[in-house]
Every structure is written in structure tokens, then in C-alpha cells.
Amino acid sequence: QGCTQKYIVKNYFYYYLFKFSAALGEEIFYITFLPFIYWNIDHSVSRRMIIVWSTVMYIGQVSKDILKWPRPLSPPVVKLEMRTDAEYGMPSTHAMAATAISFSFLLATVNQYKYPFELGLVAAFVFSMLVCLSRLYTGMHTVLDVIGGALISAVLLVLLYPAWDMIDHLLLTSPFCPLLSIVVPLVLCYNYPKLDYYSPTRGDTTTILGAGAGATVGFWLNNQYTAPDYTSENFQLGFPLITGKIVVVMLARFFVGIFVVLLTRQLMKSVVLGMLGYRYKFPIGDLEARRQLEVEVPYKFITYSSVGFSATVIVPLLHEQLGLM
């Protein structure tokens, strides 16, 4: 009921700032931001960030449905979002994702590119802080939810960082990588904690793990078959040397890539839902049927693993054909 509360916006600066900041913690942002890093910055940076993102988000989503801590009561707070209100509150996965992504990007790039560590640290702190504060402003989390999410993410990042190189090497070279990259996430999704009512956490988790699985298979294939790599000297020397021409190429790569990714997503959604609808005898528009375990998991996983695979394999090949490498 809290989501239907009427409210009056008195400060539009804070309202739009924190609504925008909240969007920076959504899965759709990371599913576009991480491919941008892959297409324009560095493959190794993107791989490490995807490892961290998938791990942190899975642990955060599962923790919510195990702890079952409620979100803030409304009233007294006014909730500015509707979709995530069905989820539990502790920990804030927005806070976890923002902390993990911003600081993993800092750690992965600071020794490879020419920029001051202090500047990167401030940028990572501001990004994560804006997302964390947005969860308080929109009424979706308590202070404890946000602090808990950020701390859990920081601990996981500290634990993962020393193993980055080893994990990355295994993902690129192990003959078992493609099989494990698909089987392990699927097992985790099918054995997601059960709730007494429907929550979007299982679907969101399947989306994240599916995208990570598809991208990981793509990384392995690229390494095995020496797919095109973005190794322009201008990019490798550091951010200060980025010119107008390079910006145009980066934007071209991004828009071409996003078009392919969105097209893949739409096509796979239609195909997979059509096949599942035929198998389980339900119309594609039946929302309740799409929320069932036997439909939601394969639908989300196949769709977004295709998106991850397309972003890491199909898009680079297309970039090469278009002369954007």
C-alpha cells in the first residue's frame, strides 16, 4: 500500500538526482555498462567486473530471501518505487552492486591506466554513495540495509581480489569452463530459496547469472579461437589521450553493440517464451504462468545467457566487419 501513497515533490534537484542514482543500481544499467567496458576499455577489466558482479549479486539476493527482513514501513516513509517493494530489504543489493562495481573497476584499472588513484577513489566513493543514498531517499531501505549491503560487498571484494588472476586464467583456459559456466548457475537458480509468495528476486538473480554465464562462455571461446581484441594503442596508453576521433569510435561501438544486444534479447524472449508456452500450455501474456519456476528460470536464463554471449562474441565480430576495431 505504501507505493500508492500520494506525495508532493518539494525539491526537484534531490528528487531527480536520487531517482537517477537509483537507476544506476539496476540490472539493466550493468548489463549495458559492463559490455561498454568490454568493447571500449579492456577485456580483462570487464571479465573481473563480471566475476565480482555475478558473485556479489547472487549472495545479496539469496541473503534477502533467507533473512526475510522487511523493508521500511510506509507510513512513515513514502516509497517511490513499486516493483522492488515485493522483495525483502536486508541487504540492499543496490548498495552491494554499486560498491562492488565501482571499487572493482578502480582496482582493475588503476595499475593499467594513467590516472591518479585519489581521483579514482573519489569517483568510486561518490558513485556508490549516490546509489546508497538513493535507496534511503526512495524509501526502499533502512540505513542498516544500506550499510550492511556495502559492508558485505566490501568483504566479498577483499576476498575475491587476491584470486582474480587465478579465476580469470581458469575461465579462459579450462576445458571445463563452458560446461561449468552453464551448469553451476542453472543449479543455483533452480535451487533458489523458496518463498510463500512471489518475489522478483529469483527472476533478477537468474537474469544476472544467465548474463554472466553467457559472457563467460564467450570469454572462453574468444581465448580459444583468438577472436578480435580491442587493442588500439590509444586506449591502452591511458584515458588522458582519448581524442575526439576515439570518442566517436567508442560511441559507434556502443550503439552498434547495444542494438545487437537488444535485438538478441527481444528475439530470444519471443522464441523461448513461445517454446515454453507450447510445452506448458499457457498464453505468452499469462504473467502468473511466467512466474512459475519451470518457466521463469529457463526463460530468463536462456534469454540473458544469449545476451551475454552475443555481447562478447557476436558484437566484436560485427565491430571487426564494420572497421571499428
Distance between CA atoms of residues 245 and 256, nearest Å: 17
Residues 6+ apart with CB under 8 A from 307: 31, 210, 211, 214, 261, 264, 265, 268
Q: What residues act catalytically?
A: 94, 141
Q: What whole-number distance in Å separates Cα of residue 12 and Cα of residue 170? A: 49
Q: pLDDT at position 291, please?
A: 84
Torsion (CA) 37, 157, 88, 65 in degrees, nearest 10:
110
Q: What is the pLDDT of residue 84?
A: 63
Distance CA 294, CA 280 (A): 9
Q: Are 90 and 69 in contact (CB under 8 A)?
A: yes
287 CB neighbour count, 10 Å cutoff: 7
The pLDDT, as a whole number, for residue 233 is: 43
Per-residue confidence (pLDDT) for residue 136, from 0 to 100? 83
Element containing residue 181 per DSSP (H, E): helix 177-190
From the number of C-beta atoms within 10 Å of its C-beta (0-12, 13-18, 19+), residue 104 rates as buried
- What's residue 232's pLDDT? 43
Q: How far apart are CA 39 and CA 259, in angstroms?
A: 13
Q: What's the pLDDT score for residue 31?
A: 75
Q: DSSP assignment, residue 161? A: G
At 155 the pLDDT is: 92
Which pLDDT score is estimated for 1?
41
Helix (H, G, I), strand (E, B) or coil at 307: helix
pLDDT reported for residue 231: 46
Are the CB atoms for 34 and 56 separated by under 8 Å? no
How confident is the prediction along the chain (325 residues), in pLDDT tens digits per residue? 444 567 777 778 888 888 888 887 777 777 788 888 888 877 888 888 888 888 898 998 898 888 888 887 776 777 777 666 667 778 888 889 889 988 988 888 887 777 788 888 999 999 898 888 888 888 888 888 899 999 999 999 888 888 888 888 888 888 998 999 999 999 999 998 887 777 788 888 999 899 999 999 998 888 887 655 554 443 443 444 556 677 888 888 889 999 999 999 999 999 998 888 888 888 877 788 888 888 889 999 999 999 999 999 999 888 888 887 7
Contact 211, 307 (CB under 8 A): yes
